[in-house]
Structure 1
């Protein structure tokens, strides 16, 4: 704690010393002061916001849930939906049925604003309540308020359609309501899929979800001041408290933000429990992310316009400050655009926005820059650092800035749109319309950097040289954020319909009357990937017994085979489960706590690794894995004879008529050396030298060392590789494939 206090105090002092220096000594003369004052205003606002942020993260709450009382409350669980896929709703509803809470006190409702027959049938199948209404007035808030007229529970849970609660959700939250002034308990919104920064930039789980800073750090800090923001889902309310403010707030598209503030203004206590008790789907594309944030930003402005935190009765001074901080935050994108533009004004047009020397900047700005970076990483428990904040802010600034200005000055109506979830895409797409501002700024930045370097090479006086160096560094820093934002605009295809979770469970596969033991590599709602030590032939349909937190039985189908560093892996798709087994499987998949490291930046998650990983893995075209048979990496020498397509049929007939004679005759012909890279039931991959031509449709005869049999196949692709050809071969029939697999395993020819 002492180190934390020293870091925060040191950073605060350095920051305000820097601001004082900026005000007193760095403003230019003449018309340039207009641009300089604009930049200074942004820096002062950012310093105020940072001071409040430091106050929040200084001593966040770390609550432990109280035990449940002997007399339990009745609870209604409301799943709000409009147009989300039924498959997503089914998972959430099934998980609600898994809640560890007495069934006689628990009622689950799907609140369907889409008035869909398939959703009504789903509720009927799951034996839970179904509510709908004739209109969509007030969107989600109206949907929840309509539900209030039908339910009678003492507590109510609000869940978005994709938020899957863990079995202990109510056991960990309901105990807080023993304290009579508690109005709601908010838990973090966590996500089981990768957000677009993790996914599109190939960072996977080496960086936390972009929302974790708010959901895990800021909310815990606000809790100390009774200023927790209701996040719209994963929360439990006291029904009487909601009734006291007339239901969920309407007149704004962010009813959650307004509802929490109104309850606090009524004098109620709100609680943040920093435990992942429900997980959902993060937005899965850049357009959807920007639409979501624009809705949040404009909704916050609407709320402040209707219920100004500075004027509303009942809020404490700190609550007012924190809610106004949330309001001001949405204008930070405009500040980011100014920061990007400022050095370019000097490099291209010669307009100085900062009148200083290099030594002055190093003496006042550098300590602030270094200390604030350390505080950001250390005091947020590695949830965020300066580089990733720079990337997030740069990526979203242009779109959000424009939308915030539109809302501020025009009050243009905003139609409510549900953020799409569970969307899959099969091809790479570049969202050029969303990154045009970044491309423009990138081009101008490159121009500015070139001009700056030209000035330095020309030779100039020391003061001009220092000014150019300062603005060059500034522009390069901005340029990195712009480039990463453009990289983000290349949307990777999401080939999987469901998310996979890495779990190592013992598994037994029953195939053709034989039991084979292995382990799972990962599991999903509709399948798994298993690891076997040896490439044992499997039947297409098989039975699996999996030993996880519970024991599960599946009927499955092989969908692909592939290599694995530890042996052989197979992808299996499950046949549909009955309702009871489906609920148990949902509990297995989503009922466990995520690893704590998934909420922290991992070593090496920096700008260099972003570029290395991106250019290492990026592809314009992605092909799904559809290998249907076992593939064994062999790398063994062989003898190869290429056969023209016109003679392949005759060779096949000769082999069928007299196999022994065929083998003997073919071995007497001139065969050339080659290498088999890998082999499967369907074919192999060869590397052959001294080949003039080879094309799809030609025949191939392959002789393995120390083996009498000759293997015949057809060329499906041939790629020149230096003086060699890389040739893909399909065997002429499955018998050939089985023969080669048996030969390889029995003769131990795999290297």
Structure 2
């Protein structure tokens, strides 16, 4: 008797399903009988039309993928294909409506464009009046200006407070947000920094108003589940709001510092110890950095190169002796990189200390562009330059976005550090930097208490009253992390270390820092607490769809009137400030990939800052075939499944839930779909792309020539190069067999260099050249002619508004230039 109605038995006997399929489908049917009113007229009508609505599922044997097929077909039926009989009539009505709407928009567009153009011309029109006003303002007594500052600040604060706290009904809130949106759309086309500051003010007003509304009007204190879920979401939103406001302050006025000139007399130039710390990296990686350092344009008697080998490897010692640089090793590895550097400080005495990771090859102009500021400012302790990468990171390689979209680090090195520099808060980033020895000695050397010794060292320098500087000109190029797991491991260390600093040496407390230095440091450290809030945002709509918990206890229309302006203004403002360095969607993807993995380490570090150890980031690895990193992707797949389950429950609620919840369900579905897009991109990053090159090829455009054994030379252009070869493009076709010995001629400055090689590819205008037989001296010269050129990083620009255009040599304009920076 039981077997006649029990779904498992029926599916196994009548439908010939497998045990797993029968069990899962039977379980889903049982849940349906428990939670769904299958006896209702709506469900009966749906069952009667089953064959017409789901023809591909009606007459097939049930399978384990059927629930997903039903969900996809249901979404298509609901949102894509109308099923009513008046379809054609409604389509014609929609076309007529769209035509009338477009006609209306054309009428409105003309005055809007005129007004927008007028706003765009406004800065140039009123510029003379502003200059005159600025002169009069500067001529005022400081006490008068101080009184005016205070008065203006009080008035502005009162007005903002009124805008934030004044309660509005639906219509008033709609008018308010449309007005602020119109102002934002008008001023965003205006050049200059004032429109940016105005956009920041508008975004702050809208976001503060949203948060005020959330705290005062959207919590259901009468239901424990609603209140718990609502408070969790509100805490995540408060964190995001705080990071948004601090970020505005941090990057509102980027300094864009230019190099300072050096004295004409080279005898006044300081002695510099250039340190290259290494632990377990391959010699092939370290060798290029040493060769490039040997070619730096600085008096040889004032530049000392040190290879700091924490691995105590004989091959590294022999290499250092071969090329004539100093080799330093120690008996233990205590305090990792910071301990290695501190040990080297005790054995050297140069006035300045330059530091490069073993995979960061410096340009020969590095000292010429950075040291001048130490001569100009006796209290300057640090000059930091960007970290530029020759190879794609896992996001760029696996998603195919290398050089056509800003990478993860562009925002920090392109905008954030420039904003920090405005407030004398530029961070030390561990490499591509130069520091004053006396400043390091005053703070006891590099900080060893946390796993991010670089940022902690900079914080201690600033606490002691030392200054820092940031030059947004790439002067070294390195290798990005090779796999997603290695990338995540590196970010976990950064996140743990920054939270350790926040707990053990909180920048908001203690003496020595200015207000804005405290803000810059606090924002950098709190940013790494994003893991838990991001996971909350990725699962928040499920609280309503799965648990029927009202996480925002307010009408759906009111939610849209507050949430959308908050998001739109933040997006408009950030797109203007960060447009060349970060795209909003990809920022969400970067945070999502890291969220699960940094949530636990940062939480542990927040309560137990002494835990955690330094881990070295693997570089220079290979991947012999495409593979999917299931282990790393597991959290994203779980989140994806949960959000898909939420979509299924949304369909169920549309059919069975109250009619007045339809808009709320629609809003939740939009949220879930956006989450799925982000999670989908995160899953795609886990699909590792094959990478078999031992040395990465760098795209370039360098003039050169090839010379044959008979003495004939042919002009060509280097289109790419690596440590062991080069790709060439000839001006006219040349037929040579593979294996032909040729020599590559490259010019640097006034000198020509000849590199013997062998053709590995030949056909038409393009040739491939192997340079595997170079002598040690020729390898040094080849690296200095390619990787170590002063314009090497400019030639490997990455995307749209390129780094080359932002940092091109013609922007380097010191007041006087006694030395020539040669290529």
TM-score (normalised: structure 2): 0.70
The equivalent residue for 1:586 is: 783
CA contact (8 A) 1:383 1:600 kept: no
Deviation at 1:568, TM superposition (A): 5.1
Compare the two structures and name the one with the higher strand fraction.
1
Q: Does 1:127 pair with 2:127?
A: no
Pairs within 5 Å for 1:211-360: 211-360=409-558
Give the structure, 1 or 2, with the largest relative contact order (CA under 8 Å, sep 6 or more).
2
Deviation at 1:593, TM superposition (A): 4.3
CA contact (8 A) 1:512 1:539 kept: no
Deviation at 1:600, TM superposition (A): 4.8
Task: Say if 1:248 and 1:386 are closer, same or farther in 2 by CA, change over 3 A.
Answer: same
- Distance, in Å, in 2 between the alignment partners of 1:7 and 1:548 is 49
Deviation at 1:433, TM superposition (A): 1.1
CA contact (8 A) 2:239 2:533 kept: no
The equivalent residue for 1:377 is: 575
Instruction: Indicate the SS of the match to 1:330.
Output: helix
Instruction: Indicate the SS of the match to 1:183.
Output: strand
Task: Say if 1:475 and 1:598 are closer, same or farther in 2 by CA, change over 3 A.
Answer: farther
- Distance, in Å, in 1 between the alignment partners of 2:321 and 2:756 is 26
- Range 313-322 or range 477-486, more displaced: 313-322
Deviation at 1:162, TM superposition (A): 1.0
User: 396, 417, 435: which is aligned to 1:198?
Assistant: 396
Pairs within 5 Å for 1:472-487: 472-487=669-684
The equivalent residue for 2:756 is: 555
Provide Cα deviations, 1:652-690, integer angstroms capped at 9, x if missing partner: xxxxxxxxxxxxxxxxxxxxxxxxxxxxxxxxxxxxxxx
- Distance, in Å, in 2 between the alignment partners of 1:506 and 1:103 is 28
Deviation at 1:510, TM superposition (A): 2.2
Task: Say if 1:15 and 1:453 are closer, same or farther in 2 by CA, change over 3 A.
Answer: same
Task: Say if 1:419 and 1:314 are closer, same or farther in 2 by CA, change over 3 A.
Answer: same
Provide Cα deviations, 1:77-126, integer angstroms capped at 9, x if missing partner: 11111111111111111111111111111111011111011111111111
Pairs within 5 Å for 1:20-169: 20-28=212-220, 29-31=222-224, 32-69=226-263, 70=265, 71-169=268-366
The equivalent residue for 1:363 is: 561
Provide Cα deviations, 1:152-179, integer angstroms capped at 9, x if missing partner: 1111111111111111111111111121
Provide Cα deviations, 1:520-564, integer angstroms capped at 9, x if missing partner: 3322221122335547242413213334546443332333457xx
The equivalent residue for 2:708 is: 510
Task: Say if 1:597 and 1:39 are closer, same or farther in 2 by CA, change over 3 A.
Answer: farther
Instruction: Indicate the SS of the match to 2:277.
Output: strand
- Distance, in Å, in 1 between the alignment partners of 2:686 and 2:610 is 27
Pairs within 5 Å for 1:601-680: none
- Distance, in Å, in 1 between the alignment partners of 2:379 and 2:610 is 38
Compare the two structures and name the one with the higher helix fraction.
2
Deviation at 1:594, TM superposition (A): 3.2
Task: Say if 1:435 and 1:375 are closer, same or farther in 2 by CA, change over 3 A.
Answer: same
CA contact (8 A) 1:377 1:383 kept: no
Instruction: Indicate the SS of the match to 1:379.
Output: helix
CA contact (8 A) 2:407 2:582 kept: no
Deviation at 1:512, TM superposition (A): 7.6
- Distance, in Å, in 1 between the alignment partners of 2:572 and 2:797 is 20
Deviation at 1:596, TM superposition (A): 8.7
- Distance, in Å, in 2 between the alignment partners of 1:342 and 1:507 is 61
- Distance, in Å, in 2 between the alignment partners of 1:152 and 1:322 is 32
User: 626, 631, 634: which is aligned to 1:436?
Assistant: 634
Task: Say if 1:309 and 1:209 are closer, same or farther in 2 by CA, change over 3 A.
Answer: same
CA contact (8 A) 1:92 1:161 kept: yes
- Distance, in Å, in 1 between the alignment partners of 2:635 and 2:324 is 51
- Distance, in Å, in 2 between the alignment partners of 1:317 and 1:546 is 55
TM-score (normalised: structure 1): 0.76
Coordinate RMSD, CA, aligned? 2.2
- Distance, in Å, in 2 between the alignment partners of 1:233 and 1:518 is 35
- Distance, in Å, in 2 between the alignment partners of 1:206 and 1:296 is 26
- Distance, in Å, in 1 between the alignment partners of 2:679 and 2:776 is 49
The equivalent residue for 1:6 is: 198
Deviation at 1:519, TM superposition (A): 3.7
Instruction: Indicate the SS of the match to 1:40.
Output: helix
Q: Does 1:544 pair with 2:743?
A: yes
CA contact (8 A) 1:384 1:601 kept: no
User: 520, 523, 539: which is aligned to 2:718?
Assistant: 520
Q: Which segments of 5 or more consecutive residues in structure 2 lack a partner in the other structure? A: 1-192, 803-823
Provide Cα deviations, 1:1-38, integer angstroms capped at 9, x if missing partner: 22212222222222112212222222234121111111
- Distance, in Å, in 2 between the alignment partners of 1:539 and 1:433 is 44
- Distance, in Å, in 2 between the alignment partners of 1:300 and 1:261 is 11
CA contact (8 A) 1:529 1:571 kept: yes
CA contact (8 A) 2:404 2:798 kept: no
- Distance, in Å, in 2 between the alignment partners of 1:292 and 1:409 is 21
CA contact (8 A) 1:501 1:589 kept: no
Deviation at 1:495, TM superposition (A): 1.9
User: 590, 594, 614: which is aligned to 1:392?
Assistant: 590
Count, aligned residues: 598
Provide Cα deviations, 1:215-266, integer angstroms capped at 9, x if missing partner: 2211111112222211111111111111111111112111111111111100
